[in-house]
Chains A and B, each alone.
Chain A
């Protein structure tokens, strides 16, 4: 497999200012993403896992420059997105798309399915309305919906079907990259499998590259090639999927894996569980040293004072922890 890097993120930071008073004086910052680096290889899927508030979604949005990064670079197919003007960005936008979590909220209830899927075509291509209708029908069949339903409204579809509409819209302009922000979290179990299968089929068919943001570790193991584990705006561990699940090095990765319940009573009864104490700290006042040190069962004094540096402990397997290596 050729391993051409499509997206290269270096030391990305996104801080949201916290303001106070009538003059909107800046009194602090929420460090949603605080120095994150990773690559996504073309045609592969990078899974991004972590708890809520860990900055997963902000990474997705900053990657597409829906949010302006505070610092750092995002290189997409050889070009730095931060350098682009509004017009230049507009040319790149069709190549990177997004699928959202809530299929109820991300489709305009007053637009028909054909106008929802056709909107990016109108915006970025000059197609005749007939060509556009043909393309919409083609897209609908591609995502497993009946093309005859093109004139229906979103409320006439179930949650899983609506997510298919969202996917059809995302692939309408033949993008290279799709950021999938918790695409199956709002769906029922039996429907999740349908949508994940569809996403994998489309990836093979169209050569798509995914950033798959999820808190479902089981599904990420199924779909991802590489997985990044996030905590409080930083990547704790990044590795190929097998290495990460079979040989997790960071204490947080281990805790996260052991917290995810296994659908097997025998395994549940015997497996070792690491129950973390406390909650994820506020990203506006992250702890000094390692951000995980306040909950880490293995933390030593050094963890509370010194920020661990990112180290590659095996080819393609990086970790930020003092205790590893």
Chain B
């Protein structure tokens, strides 16, 4: 992991709301993080925790209305993505920032050939002669490991398997040599053996192309093998930001601890799984207190009254929890609270 003083992407205090008939949904509440050059950042959290909305907000891909980016900035190469001209943003979307979505079946156009879909992205961002773009498309299909790429260029998405479609999605995202690749649950819809293929491919491409990757997932296993740093989201907020090794060795936020403890292990048979009691929060409540407090085994009065902010607890880790409110704890190992 490169320690770069100026991150490729710096998100500060991002807040996204959805104004619905049932009231305002506070989907993302003051999210701040940095993405270093060439870093792979894993974003984990349950459904509804705001992972996808955060990343969609960065490129202003959420429908407005009902969505509304209420506050925050996202500095990418010196410019704020959230306030820039829409025309300039379009240059960045699919150009310097590539996107891979969860379901390749619904994100690919069923009536356009794979080759044309890859070339579409090139036409917009790097127009050239058709023959040159075709050559680039072919090169991309080879890069993502699609067998007999010549023939596949003329295929329609339905003629490909799920894993192959996801490779095509990756090829499209990589078409313009992005600096940042945002992948939203890209392997969730795939079988484990196919997921393993895609993970190996991404690890390989990341070394070859040196791009930064934001990998959104709910699978803690996938994160362990792939990323440099983990962001844990809960109730629209980042509750923990830690390097991957430290995170798995000693998760610090009670939610992270619960999440890791709830996974079955080789020796857990016959025992009860540790579980996090209760249900995910109702996002219609404005975040006035810690959203995890009702489910937290360590919650005390302050947790129910005040919302903790993400605070650095060591050189590399940030946690938002009142148990950690002592500003600098002099350890870099990050001892847990003892589950």
Contacts and interface: CB of A to CB of B under 8 A. Distances in A.
Q: Interface range on chain A: under 10, 10 to 19, 20 to 34, or 35 or more?
A: 35 or more
B196 A276 contact: yes
Contact of B260 (A196, A219, A263, A276): A263
Contacts of A217: 192
A161 to B, nearest CB: 7
Interface in A204-234: 215, 217-219, 221-223
Interface string A274-307: 0111011000000000000000000000000000
- Residue picked from A51, A160, A197, A265, most chain B C-beta under 10 Å: A265
Nearest to B246: A265
B275 A276 contact: no
A276 B193 contact: yes
B245 interface: yes
A193 interface: yes
Interface string B202-235: 0000000000000000111111110000000000
Contact of B258 (A158, A190, A268): A190
A258 B200 CA distance: 13
A264 B219 contact: no
A264 B220 CA distance: 9
Interface residues of B, number: 44
Nearest to B247: A265
B161 interface: yes
Interface string B273-292: 11111011000000000000
Contact of A51 (B193, B221, B259, B266): B193
Contact of B197 (A189, A241, A275): A275
B197 to A, nearest CB: 6
B257 to A, nearest CB: 11
Interface of B: 46-47, 161-164, 191-197, 199-200, 218-225, 244-245, 248, 258-260, 262-266, 268-269, 272-277, 279-280
Nearest 5 interchain pairs by C-beta: A261-B221, A268-B225, A222-B264, A193-B275, A259-B196
16 contacts: A51-B191, A189-B220, A190-B46, A193-B263, A196-B273, A197-B272, A221-B269, A256-B193, A259-B192, A261-B224, A263-B224, A266-B248, A273-B196, A276-B196, A277-B197, A279-B164
Given A263-B248, A275-B200, 6 more contacts: A188-B218, A192-B262, A218-B265, A260-B192, A260-B221, A261-B224
